[in-house]
Amino acid sequence: MSAVNALRLPPLPSVRDLVRLYKLRAIKQLSQNFLLDERITDKIVKCAGNIRNQYICEVGPGPGSITRSILKRQPKKLIVVEKDPRFLPTLELLQEASSPHTDFIIEIGDIRSYNFVVGFEKVYKHDWLELPPPIHLIGNLPFNVSTNLIIRWLSSISEKKSAWLYGRTPLTLTFQKEVGERIIASDSDKQRCRLSVMCQLWCDVEYKFTIPGKAFVPKPDVDVAVVTFVPKRYPFVNLPFKLVEKVLRNIFNMRQKYALRGGETLFPEKLREQLGTQLFVLADVDYETRPFQITNEEFSRLCYAYDTLCKEYPEIVNFDFRSTKCTDDVL
């Protein structure tokens, strides 16, 4: 059968009908919510830009609503990674229907252990300073893993590995609206937090639009944000991810107090008063500023200052304030 004839096949049942046919119910423990409005799924995929003939990985496709919108744009290869095997029949219908024009791969498993290097092995590696490679990650993420996932991926972006071995692979993802607002929060915005800075140190982030909760089945208690990430050619900081995360975590640990208070917890008690102040002096940052008021550039300088102090005082490298007290603020 030719590709032309295949594209003339009768339309598939709607996703809503397939959900009923296979008696698919969202599992609350997996934070599952089905998005069945094709206009909205088309809008999400449009945020990813021109994906024709590109390599796409969709995270958590569920019954395949966004998957259909992706396939309409005819990517060269689409990998869907779904943890719940109940959705396999609906995804296989899409796989069969799209076979003439898209290499459709279904992976049943956890996206956190998926090997992007294998999935994108045929993609030509782009220099980091070039335009992004023909790869895009798209996903309506379950709320219970979304923050964990983006932190993992930021770590990979910082190390230029996994999906970012091929260059500055962009992402189009959904989050709870409140989390989306935190991701883009600028300095002095009271929603600004550790997650805001971590995303913005390595990526250009953009809040694209809000999906009302009523568009999902079942309806969640919150609205949903669509956010795009494009790794920066020149990130604000070029230091080990764990070091940067540690500095941000400690400083935001006391987000309503002067930044010095959180900064001091990077150091053992006997060195705390001396090195806490020295950290901010080296970074040329006002230690009486509150954490959410510190700019990305200033946080970058604080990370480099901490790295300098670690080299001068090796005993502080493995010091962890959380081992004795854990009052970590929300991401």
Query: What is the phi/psi pair of residue 239, to 5°?
Result: -135, 165
Percentage helix, strand, coil, to 5, in the chain?
Answer: 45, 15, 40
Per-residue pLDDT reduced to its tens digit, 39-56:
999 999 999 999 999 999
Structure tokens at 264: 């001091």
Query: What is the phi/psi pair of residue 84, to 5°?
Result: -95, 110
The residues near 308 (Cβ < 8 Å, ≥ 6 apart) are: 282
User: Nearest-CA neighbor of 97 among 114, 118, 117, 78?
Assistant: 78
The residues near 194 (Cβ < 8 Å, ≥ 6 apart) are: 245, 248, 249, 252, 329, 331
Per-residue pLDDT reduced to its tens digit, 197-224:
999 999 999 999 999 988 887 777 889 9
Query: In this predicted structure, what is the pLDDT of residue 1?
Result: 37
Q: pLDDT band at residue 36, thresholds of 50, 70 and 90?
A: confident
| pTM of the shown model | 0.90
Query: In this predicted structure, what is the pLDDT of residue 6?
Result: 29
Q: Tell whether the model's pLDDT for residue 328 goes beyond 70.
A: no
Span of 5-14, 57-66, 227-236 with lowest mean pLDDT: 5-14
Per-residue pLDDT reduced to its tens digit, 91-145:
999 999 988 889 999 999 999 999 999 999 999 999 999 999 999 999 998 888 8
DSSP-based three-state secondary structure for 34:
strand
Query: In this predicted structure, what is the pLDDT of residue 69?
Result: 93
Q: Which domains does the chain show, CATH number per domain?
A: 3-231 (3.40.50.150), 241-323 (1.10.8.100)
Query: In this predicted structure, what is the pLDDT of residue 95?
Result: 94
Inter-residue contact 40 to 107 (CB < 8 Å): no
Placement of tokens 């998005």 in the chain: 35
Residue 8 burial (CB count, 10 A): 8
